[in-house]
A and B are shown apart, each in its own frame.
Chain A
């Protein structure tokens, strides 16, 4: 390793942090209420708006983005496959199923109860997916994402079917379109659990790297594979359920961010985790800012913007750098 090679990532890291900080600043000053950079810290009115609405929204976007990107990364590690993510492989759909069950059985349940049940159903749904995914032959890598896609579709269809017959279809729609327009001080704090989950992921980073080598190799290297599997599952389920309950389903982050980042900086988890978390946060925050501005003073859901922005830039990236596999 020469010094050039060692300083390049640091420079890149500094640049990335600057981008994220810039986005936060923009996010603080973009909204319907009047907050201008000049009086932000002198005008009590502006300070109040920042504290009550802008900062929570910014933080919610960051936590959601970082959490979902990491959930995608962990899921890809556990499934030993690049092309699965919670939103498409049944985790998000299972969480929605949980919300539906709570709504049918306990209509007046609190957000925390909803999250808990959604986490449990997401856990069950994801465990089932991974259990089956591991029985698929590793020689056919595209079988796993295909399986995940169909599996997610099946769970989603079950949700739709039940919702249709209990007339909760439009109710479920609330949780299928992720948006931050309702985020305020006191209405998003549960998302901080995502930050805790991020810390847990960081602690287990090396073990996750080992896991990606496959069961036999990692057990040979002294890893408690089954325990790691449980931890990974918990990470994915909790983050996804939290996001679905508080924000709604935000597609795409878990699939795109880990893939793009690992293409750029390789597969070492220790390196990947901060980069993936940061990029996910930046992506979701940027899309939320666009959603606030595009149809000002009205809102466009972040999921919609993310669909367009994320998909378009990702396609461009894919086709600009044809890979020679």
Chain B
């Protein structure tokens, strides 16, 4: 069991490395240093996004004790976009739009974490059953997407909301100035998650069992929800809403590694996410020549793979 998962992790790591090398070297032209620098920026962004989504999805599924809830399905991406428009529209008059993007990002992340805590803690504490939780999540997503576009309609719609409100992530975007801030936030986030990995294993046993084992359930859950919100802010700020990407990579990772133990699942999911994003972007860029549709392609292919897995698992 332990051996198998080590082998799987090693293999995933190698494939991820291969994808990164391919991403960095295929079809290089023009000024070599410039291109390499550009690609490393993009690669870094892709890795930050991949890891953020994978980790936030795993943690979120553990907290909600549910394999099919992901932060995106539960509307957290929409919540971040809403936080963005809310800040632009409430303090837009005071030069918020011209602020340094890093400060903006920090502000948006704070608003987002606060909103997420306000919204999801009562949901989790109320011991809402699973189906209701799913329903509530989809509802929250719709609510915030609609609120964002309502705000955009009521107050002069500026292009950023229109762009941000796009229904698919754009993995070709480069945010040079945000990358460092987002990367740092991601590193802090995954460091905390990694230190909590055993706590998370206990949390996965369910609320009552975890409380019985001496876990301060409400406190831990509050902390993890905020963590998840911060990680979602990272990925959404960099590329936009991602829909089923998290669901896909965590399901794949879990299938490959055959365990929910966080010490193994977290790296597995993160590696799968890196492979899918970096590999997919490489293939699209050099084979199909339409890199800006990766979000759509992931949705399509990832969705199909996931459906096949569902059916296969159901028939077993």
**A touches B in complex, CB < 8 A:** yes
CA distance A304 to B147 in the complex (A): 7
The proximity string for B residues 121-154 relative to A, scoring 1 for CB distances below 8 Å and 0 otherwise, is 0110011111110111011101101110110011
Contact residues of A between 198 and 238, Cβ < 8 Å to B: none
Contact residues of A between 249 and 303, Cβ < 8 Å to B: 251-252, 255-256, 259, 294-295, 300, 303
CB distance B129 to A323 under 8 Å? yes
- B143, B303, B307, B310: the one within 8 Å of A307 (CB): B143
The 23 sampled A-B contact pairs (Cβ below 8 Å) are: A88-B138, A135-B314, A137-B314, A142-B131, A149-B138, A151-B307, A154-B304, A154-B307, A158-B300, A160-B168, A165-B293, A255-B135, A255-B138, A259-B135, A295-B153, A304-B146, A304-B150, A305-B146, A307-B146, A315-B139, A323-B128, A323-B129, A323-B132
Residues of B within 8 A of A156 (CB): 167, 299
User: B91 on the interface (CB 8 Å rule)?
Assistant: no
Residues of A within 8 A of B145 (CB): 307
- A294, A308, A325: the one within 8 Å of B132 (CB): A325
Chain A residues within CB distance 8 Å of chain B: 82-83, 88, 132, 135-137, 140-143, 145-147, 149-151, 153-154, 156-158, 160-161, 164-165, 251-252, 255-256, 259, 294-295, 300, 303-308, 310-312, 314-315, 318-319, 322-325
A311 to chain B, nearest CB (A): 3
Please, which residue of chain B has its CB at the minimum distance from the CB of A82? Answer: B131
CA distance A150 to B299 in the complex (A): 8
User: B2 on the interface (CB 8 Å rule)?
Assistant: no
CB distance A311 to B140 under 8 Å? yes
B222 to chain A, nearest CB (A): 18
Given A145-B134, A147-B310, A307-B145, A157-B296 contact (CB < 8 Å): yes
Q: Which of B138, B297, B304 has the most CB of A within 10 A?
A: B138
Given A147-B310, A164-B293, A83-B300 contact (CB < 8 Å): no
B284 to chain A, nearest CB (A): 11
Chain B residues within CB distance 8 Å of chain A: 66, 68, 73, 122-123, 126-132, 134-136, 138-140, 142-143, 145-147, 149-150, 153-154, 167-168, 243-244, 247, 290, 293, 296-297, 299-300, 303-304, 306-307, 310-311, 314-315
CB distance A157 to B154 under 8 Å? no
Residues of A within 8 A of B135 (CB): 83, 255, 259, 318
CA distance A100 to B123 in the complex (A): 40
Q: How many A-B residue pairs have CB under 8 A?
A: 135
Q: Which of A160, A165, A300, A306 has the most CB of B within 10 A?
A: A160
B24 to chain A, nearest CB (A): 27
Given A147-B307, A304-B150, A311-B142, A154-B299 contact (CB < 8 Å): yes
B-side interface mostly: helix
CA distance A154 to B140 in the complex (A): 21
- B128, B149, B299, B310: the one within 8 Å of A146 (CB): B310
Residues of B within 8 A of A295 (CB): 153-154
Residues of A within 8 A of B293 (CB): 161, 164-165
CA distance A35 to B243 in the complex (A): 45
Residues of B within 8 A of A322 (CB): 126-128
CB distance A325 to B129 under 8 Å? yes
CA distance A176 to B250 in the complex (A): 30
When A and B form their complex, which 5 residue pairs have the shortest distance between CB atoms, in order from nearest? A307-B146, A311-B143, A154-B303, A325-B129, A157-B299
Given A135-B311, A143-B314, A154-B300, A315-B143 contact (CB < 8 Å): yes
CB distance A305 to B132 under 8 Å? no
CA distance A153 to B150 in the complex (A): 23
CB distance A314 to B168 under 8 Å? no
CA distance A238 to B85 in the complex (A): 37
Residues of A within 8 A of B139 (CB): 256, 311, 314-315, 318
